[in-house]
């Protein structure tokens, strides 16, 4: 028991260092929580809907999946953010969901659910072992942040795509964001992202691109238990990629973003929670739980450090409410133009992307050799390269770390068995 307490990081006694009451409700942080919830409830949801459509899943299963993903993630977000007084946004693995587009061509959804449950157990016990935090601490910061920059770059590029497709809506959002960012005297009263959200939503509604809800729609989700089926083929195809997508793709993004913002996220606790959450969510048909990189990036993009957790709590509450309203969410997501959300997400990612590039390349001191590992990591990440059903960010980290190691061995002239390496 003592060893387990040592492995699982206890909440730090930082309550006295954090703003309380109204002082914790920083406008920027609360706006970030709202934008992060809207972002996570739209763009990432499209992957779930794409999987469901390609597999021909019934609406009851889809709504149960959405309920589990949002409600469970929201509850865990609130509990962890309150306990650790830092923003900890929990959602579901998008790369893991994308795996199902091809997997469900030749396996049943029940077989996939069986793989979800096994993956959750693996993640849970890896968290209890303490090996995940030990491994993450060994990753070079510049390599990880180069991967994060590569992952977040497409979100920023969505600004351009949105401007091309819906120039009026996107233009209004961008102008509002820039004015409130440049003129800080105005931005104090209206956070840039909140202004962009309000102005964009107003123009979208006036132009007929706002959300549409059918009056016959049942608003409250009715989750159903999915009977799992355990097959060797599904285990081989899905379990390892799902575990890697949670730990080595998604969680490492979130941890890196929070670390760069000055936080110390409890890696082992997060891993255990993700494993437990994956099992619970899997019962209702959802892909495994993870620490979401993009949402956490939005949460820390502006505002005072001590108030970010309040934005995360708002995010979690909204997430849980969205889960309860899963049928409405799917209806709204399919009726509203996706480019509006793409623009909002792109704007929110700009400061995070800037931070990621700075962390990845600022310590190079003009050395072209030292630039090679993070640069290759960045290039591999944006390539969307995939091997063995494992997405590019994992391979980018692996290749970048190998190059980093080779470079260090060459610099240090390490002797092994009497022979000089490199």
Q: pLDDT by residue (tens digit) across 35-75? A: 888 777 766 676 777 677 777 888 888 889 989 999 999 99
Q: Give the model's pLDDT for residue 414.
A: 47
Q: What is the per-residue pLDDT for 318?
A: 92
> Tokens representing 249?
């793709």
Q: Is residue 392 part of a domain?
A: no
Partner residues linked to 91 by β-bridges: 290
The predicted model scores a pTM of: 0.71
Radius of gyration of the CA atoms of the chain, in A? 21
Confirm whether 403 is domain-assigned. no
8 Å CB contact between 389 and 112: no
What domain range includes position 68?
25-141+157-170+201-348
Structural domain total, the chain = 1
pLDDT of residue 74: 94
DSSP codes, 240-301: HHHHHIIIIIIIHHHHHHHHHTT----HHHHHHHHHHHHHHHHHTTPPPEEE-HHHHHHHTS
- Predicted pLDDT at 103: 79
- 213-218 long-range contacts, Cβ below 8 Å, gap at least 24? 213/328, 213/331, 213/332, 213/335, 214/331, 217/327, 217/328, 217/331, 218/327
pLDDT of the residue at 283: 93
Residue 87 has a pLDDT of 92
Contact in structure between 361 and 371 (CB atoms under 8 Å): yes
Tell me whether residue 220 is in a domain: yes
Instruction: Write down the pLDDT at residue 11.
Output: 78
Q: Are 373 and 403 in contact (CB under 8 A)?
A: yes
Contact yes or no for 32/344 (Cβ under 8 A): no
Task: Spell out, as residue ranges, where the chain has pLDDT lower than 50.
Answer: 1-2, 13-17, 414-422
326 in a structural domain: yes
pLDDT at site 420? 47
Smallest CA-to-CA distance from 405 within 139, 225, 145, 185 is with 139
Q: Is residue 298 part of a domain?
A: yes
Secondary structure (H, E, C), 152-180? HHHHHHHHHHHHHHCHHHHHHHHHHHHHH
Q: Is residue 301 part of a domain?
A: yes
What is the structure's pLDDT at 113? 94
Q: How far apart are CA 324 and CA 222, in angstroms?
A: 8
Q: How far does Cα 346 stand from its chain's mean position? A: 14
Backbone angles phi and psi of 420, in degrees to 5 = -85, 120
Residues 62, 49: Cα–Cα separation, whole Å = 8
Within a domain: 359: no
């Amino acid at each position: 028991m003592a060893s387990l307490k040592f492995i699982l990081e206890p909440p730090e006694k930082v309550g006295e260092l954090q703003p309380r009451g109204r002082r914790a409700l920083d406008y920027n942080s609360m706006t970030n929580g709202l934008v992060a919830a809207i972002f996570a409830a739209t763009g990432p949801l499209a992957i779930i809907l794409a999987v469901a459509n390609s597999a021909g899943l019934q609406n009851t299963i889809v709504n149960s999946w959405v309920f589990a993903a949002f409600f469970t993630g929201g509850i865990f977000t609130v509990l962890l953010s309150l306990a650790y007084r830092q923003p900890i946004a929990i959602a579901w693995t998008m790369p893991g969901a994308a795996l199902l587009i091809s997997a469900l061509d030749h396996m049943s959804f029940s077989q996939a659910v069986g793989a979800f449950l096994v993956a959750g157990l693996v993640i849970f016990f890896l968290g209890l072992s303490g090996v995940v935090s030990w491994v993450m601490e060994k990753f070079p910061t510049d390599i990880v942040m180069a991967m994060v920059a590569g992952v977040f770059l497409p979100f920023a590029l969505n600004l351009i795509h949105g401007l091309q497709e819906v120039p009026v809506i996107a233009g209004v959002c961008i102008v509002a964001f820039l004015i409130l960012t440049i003129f800080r005297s105005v931005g104090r009263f209206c956070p840039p992202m909140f202004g962009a959200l309000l102005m964009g939503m107003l123009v979208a509604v006036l132009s007929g691109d706002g959300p549409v809800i059918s009056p016959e729609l049942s608003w409250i989700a009715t989750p159903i238990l999915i009977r799992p089926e355990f097959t060797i083929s599904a285990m081989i195809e899905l379990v390892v990629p799902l575990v890697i997508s949670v730990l080595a793709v998604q969680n490492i993004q979130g941890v890196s973003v929070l670390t760069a913002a000055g936080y110390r996220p409890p890696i082992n606790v997060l891993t255990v929670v993700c494993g437990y959450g994956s099992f619970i969510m899997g019962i209702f048909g959802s892909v495994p739980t993870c620490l979401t990189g993009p949402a956490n990036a939005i949460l820390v993009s502006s505002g005072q450090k001590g108030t970010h957790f309040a934005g995360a709590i708002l995010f979690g509450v909204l997430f849980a409410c969205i889960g309860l309203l899963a049928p409405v969410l799917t209806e709204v997501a399919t009726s509203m133009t996706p480019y509006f959300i793409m623009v909002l997400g792109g704007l929110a990612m700009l400061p995070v992307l800037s931070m990621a590039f700075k962390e990845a390349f600022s310590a190079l001191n003009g050395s072209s050799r030292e630039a090679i590992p993070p640069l290759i990591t960045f290039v591999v990440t944006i390539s969307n390269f995939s091997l063995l059903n494992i997405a590019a960010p994992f391979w980018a980290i692996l290749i970048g770390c190998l190059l980093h190691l080779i470079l260090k061995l060459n610099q240090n002239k390490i002797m092994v068995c009497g022979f000089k390496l490199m």
